[in-house]
Amino acid sequence: MPFLPVLLAMASTFSPTSAARALVPGSTSRPLFLAAAAASSGRIQPSRKGLDFRRGRFTVCNVAAPTAAEQEATASAAAKESQRPVYPFAAIVGQDEMKLCLLLNVIDPKIGGVMIMGDRGTGKSTTVRSLVDLLPDIRVVVGDPFNSDPDDPEVMGPEVRERVLRGDTSVPVTTAKITMVDLPLGATEDRVCGTIDIEKALTEGVKAFEPGLLAKANRGILYVDEVNLLDDHLVDVLLDSAASGWNTVEREGISISHPARFILIGSGNPEEGELRPQLLDRFGMHAQVGTVRDAELRVKIVDERARFDRDPKTFRESYNEEQEKLQQQISSARSNLGAVQIDHDLRVKISKVCSELNVDGLRGDIVTNRAAKALAALKGRDSVTVEDIATVIPNCLRHRLRKDPLESIDSGLLVIEKFYEVFS
């Protein structure tokens, strides 16, 4: 049967309001495939704006499409609807040391991350993931896979940096939440570092870089659960990126470097294995988490968790006010951080504590100063006090002390003893 009569016969079975009907621009009665057939037989003159018919074929042009802003808003709304509900940070009972370390790193990312070690089932990963709701907005370049900062060349992707160096002022900018990226234990090195884009290589015949998790985590948070079980080759990758702030990929004829500055957060159970000392030293702070022993607190935790499991949406709404207060406190602390001062005498005493504890390197001194300033900013002050230093110094130095197999005392207590000895 000839093709055109078949189409005409099919068309006669559709109603004018059929969802399958595509109308020619400017027409309200003729389906698209009938218009194409009629145009090919010379009965109608095709519209140059909407359709272009050549030898019985047609191409569609000037089709109305949603703007980039509309697409971004739709995608953001869809992502919020589809994502799993997160336990509110304000609803976490106890574990004040861990929560404080996380908040200080959000206020000042240059502290260098947190290592959280403790018993299983103490809410380590729940607390870290609940941090997502409190993360502030940052300015990023639209469509850039590296979350490039439009104002800082040090954290720009290669393409954006080239455009800025050429003097291009039309780089589109938007605001977005700081991202949190999970690094699975079974991830491959290609997925973490990035690799060649095979699809583009096959379809377009060009070598293109496909960014990995380190690119996605730039200017964000990289979280590794059970970090002490991470494969050695991935530990090497993390060490390299954490040390330089850049990720360099050399493979399949591709040589590319991109910024990879992230807050590294790890959690684990010390009974399952020790962490390599090189990686441990890369964490700015160390939080020790223990099981809650108070019976009343344990009952409260169980009840709160049961409420969340029963109706996550209502449970989250009940903590909206506290969450908003925390967000405002963090935002205010980030903006005031630059104005916080620490006296020279206090800085000298911090370095004296580090020296007398035989802490290798100067990271301990730097992190303690930064953490004390962040804590002062969180409390709304513009100067650091001795109490601020006493609060943060055990978390900044505990994991940097040399291990003595015959020593039974906790390293955090050693730091506190030395602190009171020096600051007395």
* 319 vs 22, higher pLDDT: 319
- Mean pLDDT to the nearest integer, 247-275: 84
| Residue of 256, 277, 236, 233 whose CA lies nearest to 115 | 277
The pLDDT of residue 176: 87
Confidence bin at 410 (pLDDT 50/70/90)? low
Whole-angstrom CA distances from 300 to 95, 295, 314, 317 are: 14, 9, 18, 18
Give yes or no: residues 276 and 354 share one domain.
no
- Mean pLDDT to the nearest integer, 339-358: 94
Q: Which of 66-75, 211-220, 262-271 has the lowest mean pLDDT?
A: 66-75
Give yes or no: residues 218 and 359 share one domain.
no
**Euclidean distance between the first and final Cα of the chain, in Å?**
101
Q: Please check whether residue 19 lies inside any domain of the structure.
A: no
Give yes or no: residues 290 and 357 share one domain.
no
Confidence bin at 380 (pLDDT 50/70/90)? very high
Give yes or no: residues 101 and 193 share one domain.
yes
The pLDDT of residue 325: 93
Which token pair is 161?
Answer: 């940096």
Q: Please check whether residue 165 lies inside any domain of the structure.
A: no
Q: Three-state DSSP class for 381? A: coil
Q: Which of 137-151, 216-230, 241-255 has the lowest mean pLDDT?
A: 241-255
Please provide residue 119's backbone torsions phi and psi, each rounded to the nearest 5 degrees: -65, 155
Out of 219, 363, 370, 400, the active site residue is 363
Task: Show Cβ contacts of residue 370 under 8 Å, excluding neighbours closer than 6 positions.
Answer: 108, 110, 111, 284
Q: For position 226, which CATH number holds?
A: 3.40.50.300
Percentages helix, strand, coil for the chain (3-state, rounded to 5) are 50, 15, 35
Number of domains in the chain: 2
Is residue 95 over pLDDT 60?
A: yes
Measured distance CA(118)–CA(271) in Å, rounded? 9
Query: What does the DSSP assignment read for 27-44?
Result: -SS-BHHHHHHHHHTTSS
Contact at 8 Å (CB) between 46 and 57?
no
Give yes or no: residues 399 and 291 share one domain.
no
Give yes or no: residues 271 and 365 share one domain.
no
Give yes or no: residues 211 and 259 share one domain.
yes
CB count in 10 Å sphere of residue 386:
13
Give yes or no: residues 87 and 230 share one domain.
yes
pTM of the model: 0.75
Q: Please check whether residue 210 lies inside any domain of the structure.
A: yes
> For 108-136, what is each residue's pLDDT tens digit?
989 989 999 988 888 898 999 999 888 88
Is residue 66 over pLDDT 70?
A: no
120 annotated active-site: no
Identify the domain containing residue 380 by its residue range.
338-423
Q: Please check whether residue 152 lies inside any domain of the structure.
A: no
Give yes or no: residues 224 and 292 share one domain.
yes
Q: For position 380, which CATH number holds?
A: 1.10.8.80
Measured distance CA(106)–CA(110) in Å, rounded? 9
Is residue 22 over pLDDT 80?
A: no
Q: Three-state DSSP class for 341? A: strand
| Residue of 100, 121, 99, 89 whose CA lies nearest to 269 | 121
